[in-house]
C-alpha cells in the first residue's frame, strides 16, 4: 500500500507540473509559470521547465509508465521549443510600449492567430494530462510489487529542494555513491553517467549523494552542484541535496549501509551496490572506477537475476 501511495503521489506531482504550464509574454520573451509546492516561479522555456521535464522522465518507477511519460514529455518539449521559436519574434512587436509588464495570454485577449497557437498548446497539455491520469491507477504489475525495502524507505531532498522517496526505486539494482565536485575522483562522474545510460533500461539506477565530509571537497550550494554536474558531465541520474555520509550526522541511508556492509565510506566516491530486493551485495572503494569489470560484472549478474 505504501508503494502504491508513493506511485500515485509521484504521478500526481507530474500532472501538477504539466497542468501548471501557463503561457505568459513579457519583455519580448515567451515565458511559463511553473508551480513548486503551490508557489509560482517564472522561468524561460529553455531552462527551468525543460529541467523539470527531464526530472519527470526519470521519476516514473514502472517501466511501462516510464516509457509513456517519456514519450509525452519529449513531445511537450518539442512543442514548447517550436512554440518559442514562433512566438519570440512576435512578442516584441506585440508588447510595444507595454514592455516590462506581464499579462496573461488567453483566448479572449489574444488575436486569432495567437488564439489558435494557444488552443493548440492547451490541447496538447490536456492530452498529456489526460494520458497521465490513466497512470494514477497502478497496473497489476505495480500493485503486485513487494513493499519498499526498509533500507531504502527514506525520503531525501534533491538538488532542487524537492522531496524524493527512494521507494520509487523498489525493484531496481542500485549503485549508491557519495560524490564531491573538487576531488581527485570527481571525473568518475563521467563513468557513473555512462554506467547509468548503459544499464538503466534493464532496471539499474545510480543515486548520487554529494557530501563535504572528506577534505571539504564539496563546498558549493545545491544549486552550484546541480550546475556543475549538468555543465561538466551531463548528469541525468538522480543526485540528491548535499548531506553527511559519515559520523554522527550521517544520513540514515548511509548509516544503514555502513552497518550492513561493515564498510563506511573512507573517501569520496565510495560505492554501494544493492540488489533488486534492496540488499547490499557489494561495496567498492573510491579508487575502483565505475566501469571497472569488478563493478559491471556484479551489476550484470544482479540485473539477470529475477
Task: Give phi and psi for 243, each to the nearest 5.
Answer: -145, 180
Reading across the β-sheet that carries 39-44, which strands appear in turn? 39-44, 29-36, 22-26, 103-104
- Catalytic one among 118, 148, 167, 183? 183
Look up 183 and say whether it is catalytic: yes
- Angstrom distance (rounded) from CA 290 to CA 206: 10
CA–CA distances in Å: residue 114 to residues 87, 91, 106, 227, 285: 9, 10, 9, 35, 58
- Angstrom distance (rounded) from CA 91 to CA 94: 5
Grid cell, residue 112, equals 486569432
DSSP H or E segment with residue 174 = strand 173-179
DSSP H or E segment with residue 239 = none
In this structure, are strands 173-179 and 204-210 parallel, antiparallel, or unpaired? parallel
Residues catalogued as catalytic: 183
Amino acid at each position: 500500500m505504501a508503494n502504491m501511495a508513493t506511485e500515485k503521489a509521484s504521478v500526481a506531482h507530474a500532472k501538477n507540473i504539466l497542468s501548471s504550464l501557463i503561457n505568459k509574454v513579457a519583455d519580448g520573451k515567451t515565458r511559463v509559470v511553473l508551480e513548486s509546492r503551490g508557489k509560482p516561479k517564472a522561468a524561460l522555456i529553455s531552462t527551468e521547465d525543460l529541467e523539470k521535464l527531464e526530472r519527470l522522465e526519470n521519476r516514473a518507477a514502472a517501466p511501462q509508465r516510464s516509457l509513456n511519460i517519456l514519450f509525452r514529455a519529449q513531445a511537450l518539449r518539442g512543442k514548447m521549443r517550436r512554440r518559442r521559436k514562433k512566438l519570440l519574434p512576435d512578442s516584441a512587436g506585440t508588447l510595444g510600449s507595454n514592455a516590462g509588464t506581464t499579462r496573461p495570454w488567453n483566448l479572449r485577449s489574444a488575436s486569432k492567430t495567437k488564439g489558435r497557437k494557444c488552443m493548440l498548446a492547451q490541447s496538447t497539455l490536456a492530452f498529456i494530462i489526460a494520458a497521465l491520469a490513466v497512470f494514477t491507477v497502478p497496473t497489476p504489475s505495480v500493485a503486485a510489487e513487494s513493499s519498499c525495502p526498509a533500507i531504502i524507505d527514506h525520503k531525501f531532498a534533491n538538488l532542487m529542494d524537492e522531496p524524493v522517496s527512494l521507494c520509487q526505486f523498489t525493484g531496481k539494482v542500485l549503485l549508491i555513491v557519495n560524490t564531491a565536485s573538487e576531488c581527485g575522483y570527481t571525473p568518475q562522474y563521467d563513468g557513473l553517467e555512462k554506467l547509468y545510460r548503459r544499464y538503466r533500461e534493464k532496471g539499474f539506477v545510480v543515486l548520487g549523494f554529494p557530501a563535504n565530509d572528506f577534505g571539504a571537497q564539496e563546498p558549493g550550494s545545491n544549486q552550484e552542484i546541480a550546475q556543475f554536474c549538468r555543465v561538466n558531465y551531463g548528469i541525468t541520474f538522480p543526485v540528491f541535496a548535499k548531506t553527511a555520509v559519515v559520523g554522527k550526522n550521517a544520513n540514515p541511508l548511509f548509516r544503514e549501509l555502513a552497518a550492513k556492509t561493515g564498510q563506511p565510506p573512507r573517501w569520496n566516491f565510495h560505492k554501494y551496490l544493492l540488489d533488486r530486493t534492496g540488499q547490499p551485495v557489494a561495496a567498492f572503494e573510491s579508487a575502483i572506477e565505475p566501469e571497472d569489470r569488478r563493478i559491471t560484472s556484479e551489476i550484470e549478474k544482479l540485473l539477470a537475476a529475477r
